[in-house]
């Protein structure tokens, strides 16, 4: 008898907007991309006394597309569907990990569908970092079952022809301001996985933006800070940073703070984010709507 147990830890869930012109219509306007970065440990214990141990460790990335409508509609099956599409996890892991993904996305981010679904908009990218341990107990007599049978196959990227990104109109003098120059190692790692999936050359250079009204490059959308009471706000802030009206006699529920700790009337910041996706005070990229917070 062979028993298989899987333990996982979801290390991080992040949301990005990828404003770079290199997709060549491989991803439709109605789709986003989910990248799973998985650190694996596979361990087999075999007879006669379960003292024969075989160990495999690796790390890899899986990219799967998803329908943006599932994200906007807060469909609870979004997370489980993403985990299932990777073909990497046991059914129980798919259920639990999927629920964690959906819950985090739906409670920590607010995204405005009308903005995202316009033609030639930046792509929405979900990144899920997972650490997984799979343990195989092989009790069978004279068993020749190897650990390789229990290691999930990697999904090969679509067979697209590798495209070298060409940007004849791009000014090389802008290289000093290229967002790619300031990316941390984890961002470069994500981009390698995404560009490999898309069949795009990894040249460590940011191409022209798909739109000029959002920041160029691979931009993280920070989770909104929720649940803060007015008593916890900076008491030196007496007026809304947008309309400049005071907060006196204003219901606490009508005041909100951003992840960069700036304070606004809820209706003011909601209207602002319809046209701009950055903080009016410091320009930090923000979620696209505060309506449901």
Whether 47 and 19 have beta carbons less than 8 Å apart is answered as no
- Looking at residue 9, what is its pLDDT? 92
| CA–CA gap between residue 66 and residue 80 (Å, rounded) | 12
- Looking at residue 75, what is its pLDDT? 92
Domain extent listing, the chain: 2-221, 228-293
Q: How confident is the model at residue 114 (pLDDT cuts 50, 70, 90)?
A: very low
16, pLDDT greater than 80: yes
| CA–CA gap between residue 153 and residue 86 (Å, rounded) | 10
Lowest mean pLDDT among 4-13, 31-40, 149-158: 149-158
Lowest mean pLDDT among 15-24, 137-146, 208-217: 137-146
Give the angle subtended at the CA of 200 by the CAs of 126 and 153, to the nearest 5°: 60
Structural tokens at position 78: 């979004």
- Looking at residue 251, what is its pLDDT? 72
- Looking at residue 290, what is its pLDDT? 45
Name the CATH topology of 228-293.
Herpes Virus-1 (3.30.40)
| CA–CA gap between residue 228 and residue 224 (Å, rounded) | 11
122, pLDDT greater than 80: yes
243, pLDDT greater than 80: yes
What is the percent of the chain with per-residue pLDDT over 90, rounded to a whole number?
Answer: 27
61, pLDDT greater than 80: yes
Lowest mean pLDDT among 25-39, 71-85, 115-129, 137-151: 137-151
CA contacts within 13 A on the Cβ side of 107: 10
- Looking at residue 231, what is its pLDDT? 46
Helix, strand or coil, per DSSP, at residue 125: strand
Whether 98 and 79 have beta carbons less than 8 Å apart is answered as yes
Taking residues 36-48, report their average pLDDT.
84
Helix (H) or strand (E) holding 136: strand 123-138
**186-231 pLDDT, tens per residue?**
999 999 999 888 888 777 788 888 888 788 889 888 776 544 444 4
Q: How confident is the model at residue 175 (pLDDT cuts 50, 70, 90)?
A: low
- Looking at residue 65, what is its pLDDT? 94
- Residue with more model confidence, 196 or 155: 196
155, pLDDT greater than 70: no
pTM above 0.95, yes or no: no
| CA–CA gap between residue 80 and residue 200 (Å, rounded) | 28
- Looking at residue 108, what is its pLDDT? 80
- Residue with more model confidence, 245 or 271: 245
- Looking at residue 193, what is its pLDDT? 92
Lowest mean pLDDT among 5-9, 13-17, 100-104, 176-180: 176-180
**64-82 pLDDT, tens per residue?**
999 998 998 889 999 999 9
- Looking at residue 230, what is its pLDDT? 43
């Amino acid at each position: 008898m062979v028993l298989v147990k899987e333990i996982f830890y979801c290390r991080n869930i992040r949301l990005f907007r990828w404003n770079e012109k290199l997709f060549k219509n491989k991803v439709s306007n109605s789709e986003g991309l989910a990248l799973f970065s998985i650190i694996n440990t596979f361990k087999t214990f075999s007879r006669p006394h379960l003292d024969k141990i075989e160990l495999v460790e690796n790390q890899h990335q899986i990219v799967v597309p998803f329908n943006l409508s599932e994200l906007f509609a807060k469909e609870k099956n979004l997370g489980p569907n993403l985990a299932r599409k990777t073909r990497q996890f046991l059914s129980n892991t798919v259920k639990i990990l999927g629920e964690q993904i959906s819950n985090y996305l739906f409670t920590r981010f607010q995204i405005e569908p009308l903005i995202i679904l316009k033609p030639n908009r930046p792509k929405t990218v979900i990144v899920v970092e997972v650490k997984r341990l799979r343990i195989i107990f092989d009790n069978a007599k004279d068993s020749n079952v190897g650990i390789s049978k229990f290691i999930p196959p990697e999904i090969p990227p679509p067979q697209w022809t590798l495209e070298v990104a060409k940007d004849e109109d791009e000014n090389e003098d802008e290289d000093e301001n290229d967002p790619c120059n300031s990316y941390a190692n984890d961002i470069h790692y994500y981009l390698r996985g995404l560009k490999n999936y898309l069949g795009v050359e990894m040249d460590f250079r940011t191409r022209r933006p798909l739109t000029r009204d959002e920041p160029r490059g691979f931009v993280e959308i920070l989770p909104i800070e929720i649940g803060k009471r007015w008593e916890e706000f900076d008491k030196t802030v007496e007026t809304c940073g947008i309309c400049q009206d005071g907060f006196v006699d204003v219901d606490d529920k009508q005041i909100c703070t951003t992840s960069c700790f700036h304070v606004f009337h809820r209706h003011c910041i909601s209207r602002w984010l319809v046209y701009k996706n950055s903080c009016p005070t410091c320009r930090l990229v923000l979620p696209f709507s505060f309506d449901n917070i």
